[in-house]
Chains A and B, each alone.
Chain A
Amino acid sequence: MSHTIVVDNVHKRFGAVQALRGLSLQVEQGEIYGLLGPNGAGKSTLLRTIVGIHPPDSGSVTLLGETIPDKDILARVGYMTQSSALYNELTVWQNVAFFAGIMGCSDKEAIRDAIAFVDLAERADSRIGTLSGGMRQRVSLASVLAHQPEVILLDEPTVGVDPQLRVQFWEHFRKMTDQGITLVVSSHVMDEAERCDRLGFVRNGQLIAEGTANSMRERASTNDLEQAFLFFAEQWGDENHNGL
């Protein structure tokens, strides 16, 4: 069986900043893959590279069997940016319908479901400008779901979302993987990492460790994921003297 996402030795540089340094990873269908790392580690750049916004300088990305950049494959992908990128003058419905429409989905039922999914059915006709930050984040999520993507990339989806809703989000994510949908979620919150099937620790544009939360802790001989991250960061630094 082929992998849903294959990132192979990807380098990406922006001016003086080397954002990705030979990063490789594979994501399997139906799993939740968590990208963990501090701010500026390269998580967002990696997600953008996977959807083809930043084509890699070297190396390659394969998404659903197609080599990126491939515009058409993006209709089967949902990408939620870090900040809720929405049109403030438009209503919740208009935003979700617009992004669905661009993806080739004009099914009103699907749009309604997506809005109900994030518990905003009653605010469907409210303008984004009148919503709270958490609500916007939910609209942002709904707008990557309506066209029923097979792969969903979420860049820090739960930032600014209250704990109760965060729990709901993760329940939703789990339901989606049950339907065979693949999720890649970036986060710098360690307790969210527990909910992922597999984790990738990212630091300095490199993947420094990969595995389930439990295996990471075991390998680092600690009970704490944060400690585990620091352990791998140090180990990586020792092996590669060009560390930080």
Chain B
Amino acid sequence: MDFKRIRSLALRVIYQMLGDRRTLALIVFVPIILLTLLSVLIEADESQVNIAVVNSDRGIAMGSNEVNLGQRLLTVLDDNDMLDVKSMSLDDANNKLEEGEIDAVIIVAEDFTQQVVQTQSLELTVRYEGSNPAIAENLDEIFERSALMVANTLVATQSGPGTTPVSFEREMETSLNTSYLHGGPEYDSLDFLAPALIGFFVFLFVFILTSISFLRERVAGTLERLLATPIRSHEVIIGYMMGFLIFGLIQGAVTLLFTVFVIDINYTGNLLNVFLVEILLVIVSVNLGIFLSTFAQNEFQVLQFLPLIVVTQGVLGGVVWQVENMPEWLQPLSQVMPLTYATDALREVMLKGANLLDVAVSLLILLAFGVGAIVLSAWSVRQARI
């Protein structure tokens, strides 16, 4: 092994990247732009849902008290932080629903309270705007819970003789004692996504850069020239790894600093551990790029590997959907993807403050993927003798 030759090759890779300003900008700014967008969208997603309540409930007299459950429901919903509740007439509500200003209308019938007392059944009419099914699903649950809560207050109210106590099958807790093993109430889905994305971006960009660089090396004939020099195939691979490692780590550092200080995500743990995961990820990515570029004749064919290799890992690697929640038949597929282990380690480190020993298994598996990828890329460099 000749370190001078490796150094020459690594320097060449670095000069090539530095000579290509646009690519350089791409690897730094694309993650920043995407992360910014994501943080804005996630924040917006967690903003309030607009609902209208049309309360026609006349209530009933109960002893000396006037009971109006419709009114109580309005109060309960209004107390919910996730909802922005407005009381309005049916016509107004229907108009606003049509214009998309509100997401749902709850219509409380005139005899709502009476129905509850007499038939011990809840009946509410809810109309959803419906273009986002996720909102409807969430609201269904909130409405049901709130209505039950209101109905249960009736049990407490009833005290007069001769009335039947009303109870409902599903008693709802009005208060929860919440505590967090990891994270806390201030953690949102961005904090969950960011660690995985930091890994994903490095994997994606290093893969693109290496596979295209190596393809060009082959197509332009410079690889043939390298074969007529004393450089050995493993020196080529090490040189490539060193060159792209620098850019992978620069990108990792930029995205990490950006998410931590600008987007201000919540994290615990030693951020330096993040870099160890990234180093392993770059090793996998560089060698996978070299290996797969052997099967491409041009840049366009290299890009065809992106959906196949990178997007599938993005989907199945636990970035957005956690592997343990996937259908069982799908999980083995995730388990043969290097990104799965990088995602896991990055999350453990950033969300749970895990040290290197805690994530040793993931790191070792990632290392094994790295060794496997090196074997494949070494094979393809040797195959390159056209």
Chain A interface residues (CB < 8 Å from chain B): 48, 51-54, 71-72, 74-75, 77, 79, 81-83, 85-91, 94, 98-99, 101-104, 106, 127
Contact = CB atoms under 8 A, between A and B. Distances in A.
Given A72-B230, A104-B4, A53 B222 contact: no
Nearest to B220: A85
A90 B19 contact: yes
B231 A85 contact: no
Contacts of A91: 19
B96 interface: no
A98 B8 contact: yes
A152 to B, nearest CB: 11
A48 B16 CA distance: 27
A127 B16 CA distance: 10
Given A71-B232, A101-B4, A90 B224 contact: no
17 contacts: A52-B227, A53-B228, A72-B230, A74-B230, A75-B229, A81-B221, A81-B224, A88-B220, A98-B9, A98-B12, A101-B4, A101-B11, A102-B5, A102-B8, A102-B230, A104-B5, A104-B230
The 3 closest A-B pairs by CB, nearest first: A101-B8, A85-B221, A51-B228
B228 A89 contact: no
Contacts of B12: 87, 90, 94, 98
A70 to B, nearest CB: 9
B385 interface: yes
Given A89-B20, A90-B16, A53 B385 contact: yes
Nearest to A88: B220
Given A53-B228, A98-B12, A102-B231, A85 B19 contact: no
B19 A89 contact: yes
B229 A99 contact: yes
A83 B221 CA distance: 8
B295 interface: no
A86 B232 CA distance: 19
Contacts of B5: 101-102, 104
A94 B15 contact: yes
A40 B228 CA distance: 21
A127 to B, nearest CB: 7
Contact of A52 (B20, B222, B228): B228
B22 to A, nearest CB: 11
Interface in B347-386: 385-386
A137 B242 CA distance: 30
B167 to A, nearest CB: 77
B326 interface: no
A191 B15 CA distance: 41
Contacts of A79: 225, 228
B230 A87 contact: no
B40 interface: no
A224 B222 CA distance: 37
Nearest to B7: A101
B145 to A, nearest CB: 61
Given A75-B229, A99-B229, 6 more contacts: A48-B224, A52-B228, A54-B385, A90-B16, A94-B19, A102-B230
A85 B222 contact: yes
B257 interface: no
A221 to B, nearest CB: 40
B226 interface: yes
Contact of A85 (B11, B20, B224, B230): B224
Contacts of B8: 98, 101-102
Contacts of A102: 5, 8-9, 226, 229-231
Contact of A86 (B20, B222, B231): B222
A48 B223 CA distance: 13
Nearest to A77: B228
Given A86-B220, A90-B19, A106 B4 contact: yes
Given A54-B385, A81-B224, A104-B5, A90 B15 contact: yes
Contacts of A127: 19
A203 B228 CA distance: 24
B135 to A, nearest CB: 49
Nearest to A70: B230
Interface in B204-227: 220-222, 224-227
A51 B231 CA distance: 13
Contacts of B225: 79, 81, 85, 99
A86 B222 CA distance: 6
Given A85-B222, A86-B220, A74 B15 contact: no
B224 A53 contact: yes
B16 A74 contact: no
Nearest to A140: B225
Most A Cβ at <10 Å: residue of B226, B229, B231? B229
B235 to A, nearest CB: 9
Contacts of A88: 220
Nearest to A55: B385
Nearest to A91: B19
Most B Cβ at <10 Å: residue of A89, A99, A106? A89
A199 B195 CA distance: 66
A123 B232 CA distance: 31
A86 B220 CA distance: 7
Nearest to A14: B386
Contacts of A86: 220, 222
Contacts of B232: 71
A102 B239 CA distance: 11
Contacts of B220: 85-88
A90 B220 CA distance: 13
Contacts of B4: 101, 104, 106
Nearest to A143: B225
Given A94-B12, A101-B5, A102-B5, A74 B229 contact: yes
